[in-house]
Structure 1
Amino acid sequence: MTRAGEAMAGSKSRNKKKRLRIALIGHGAIGQMLFDVFAEKKPAIDIVGVLVRPGRAKATQKKVGRKVAVVETLPALLKLKPDVVVEAASQQAVRDWGEAILAKGIDLMVIATGAYGDPKLWKRHVAAAARSGARLRLPAGAIAGLDGLLAMRLGKLERVKYTSIKPPHAWSGTPAETDFDLPAISEPTVIFRGTPADAGRLYPKNANLAVTVALCGAGLDRTDIELVADPTLPPGTNASRLEVVSDSGELRLERLGRSMPDNPKTGVLTALTMADELMKMVRASDW
């Protein structure tokens, strides 16, 4: 990785263009927020298409308008010739389509990084990007401090710990629902303690950042993860904590952020960091 929030594999000569063409995989809370941010900020970015599950094209088309193509297959999405495909869907989408996108020489931005808890998948995607000259981009998501972690790993990392803290109801539909009586939790409770790979696999909609932190720092085997159900959080928020100890010093960052109105599992900052990375590409003509 060359900087906070971005993993690059390969390099290629890119022609400068006036506008960045992006295509989305998925049109949920994150995808809609990208539409909203670009409509307000008006960067030189065009969302040229959205890939949705079969049967959802008609409803999605009404939401995004006629200027954006809504398709149900990856080949149809790639025919739109995007500069970047932005995954805003799921780990399964990363597994199903990531390698094919990178092999075509098209940049891929991944937010469901929990898929890379599988080191074989990570290596395949990095190799595909290296062969084609595409870039595999990992936005920071709903966390701060990855720039410091990336710098500190140039020395010796002694300890990296990431803690994700969400209200009990945000953990519904996960193993925590079986292991704990979520509505009865009355104080901050650790519902998971383990590796990034296990966190990403068991909590695919909640703990993708566990793998992002690992990839930016000490790796999948040397990063500690805790997931916490906390009923004392202010309504509509979630939080995270990053702790790093290295030979260059120590880093401790805490974040309290607003969660998506319709999705307490995801923070608003997740979509904003994706938008920010794409807007940086425009400013730097980095595509």
Structure 2
Amino acid sequence: MSAVRKAGLVGWGAIGRVVGTALARREVPGAELVCIVDNRPLGDAAPAPQVAFEEALERCDLIVEAAGQGVVREWGERVLASGTDLLVASTGALTDEELAKRLLNTGPGRVYFTGGAVGGLDLLQAVRAVGPLDEVRLTTTKLPSTLEQPWMDEELLSRLRTATGPVEVMAGTAREIPVKFPRSTNVAASVALAVGDLDAVQVRVVADPGAHRTRHVVEASGPLGAYRFEVAHLPDPDNPATSRVVPYAVLRSLAALAGRGGQIL
């Protein structure tokens, strides 16, 4: 492996632009942006060459996914089989247990994921090492427009569009929810990956026209105590389904993978 991680970025959207710009400016010691993969022509807006996925695998030793769950499903195994590492931002894809198993068993590349818009995952992992958590609940509250999905019937869409206060859109497990909201509930998958059990995490998705900040509340109890984490993020102005903090979580993960400088792990 080279001393400097040669990173290829997949996706030039709300997350990718921030991550790619920081990499291009060498703001992550030990990592450089080598190329960008996106199905849209980027022209002069791209700070690195825009290439096809196959060429990115030849140029890079690390692929950073910032384009959605479909990329992980379609390309994840090929990335790892080529010997290239993969950093996943769209953790919702890993709620497909068969896919997750294949990714973990494919090599020689290694797969990593970022916690994204939620904190406390390291603590949940520490508690899980002692014994299973008794109860884990996640409540995610977002603007109604960011939660609309093609599968919704007219009654539910009408409830979202006419809501004057919080409305529960769906409740289920971390196995079920990310499939229904592929761009809005990666946090559910991140919590489940930390806990180690998709079915143990109970998720509520709430639409609130007054939710000027995207809110995630994690409540858990286990053999060592009880825990509650709450975050309230500003949504990205270009893509309100994504919190503005997410690309910076990706950059922190990149810094850890590059292995430069001291930090809390």
Question: Which of 54, 70, 74 is residue 50 of structure 2 equivalent to?
Answer: 70
Paired residues, number: 257
SS state of the match for residue 194, structure 1?
A: strand
- 2:95 alignment counterpart: 117
Identity of aligned residues (%): 30
- 1:4 alignment counterpart: none
Question: Which of 222, 237, 260 is residue 236 of structure 2 equivalent to?
Answer: 260
Quick one: which amino acid aligns to residue 178 of structure 2? G
Q: Which runs of 5+ in 1 are unaligned?
A: 1-13
Quote the Cα distance in structure 2 between the aligned partners of 1:193 and 1:156: 22
Q: CA deviation at 1:282?
A: 2.6
- 2:222 alignment counterpart: 246
Question: Which of 101, 110, 114 is residue 139 of structure 1 equivalent to?
Answer: 114
Q: CA deviation at 1:220?
A: 1.1
Equivalences for 1:194-213 in 2 at 5 Å? 194-213=172-191
Quote the Cα distance in structure 2 between the aligned partners of 1:115 and 1:281: 21
Quote the Cα distance in structure 1 between the aligned partners of 2:84 and 2:121: 25
- TM-score of the aligned structures, taking structure 1 as reference length: 0.84
Equivalences for 1:1-287 in 2 at 5 Å? 14=1, 17=3, 19-38=4-23, 42-44=27-29, 45-53=31-39, 56=40, 59-65=41-47, 68-72=48-52, 74-80=53-59, 82-129=60-107, 132=108, 134-154=109-129, 155-175=131-151, 178=154, 179-181=156-158, 182-234=160-212, 237-284=213-260
Distance 1:117 1:150, change over 3 A: same
- TM-score of the aligned structures, taking structure 2 as reference length: 0.90
- 1:9 alignment counterpart: none
Quick one: which amino acid aligns to residue 43 of structure 1? V
Q: CA deviation at 1:42?
A: 2.3
Q: Residues 171 and 177 of structure 1 are in contact (CA less than 8 Å); yes or no, is this contact kept in structure 2?
A: no
Q: Which runs of 5+ in 2 are unaligned?
A: none
Q: Residues 91 and 114 of structure 2 are in contact (CA less than 8 Å); yes or no, is this contact kept in structure 1?
A: no
Q: CA deviation at 1:249?
A: 0.5
- Deviation sequence 1:21-45 (CA, Å, 0-9, x none): 1101111110001123345672332
Q: Residues 176 and 191 of structure 1 are in contact (CA less than 8 Å); yes or no, is this contact kept in structure 2?
A: no
Q: CA deviation at 1:280?
A: 2.2
Quote the Cα distance in structure 2 between the aligned partners of 1:270 and 1:43: 16
Q: CA deviation at 1:161?
A: 1.3
Quick one: which amino acid aligns to residue 60 of structure 1? L
- Deviation sequence 1:90-148 (CA, Å, 0-9, x none): 1111111000111122110111121222111110000003xx1x321110110111011
SS state of the match for residue 278, structure 1?
A: helix
Q: Residues 174 and 202 of structure 1 are in contact (CA less than 8 Å); yes or no, is this contact kept in structure 2?
A: no
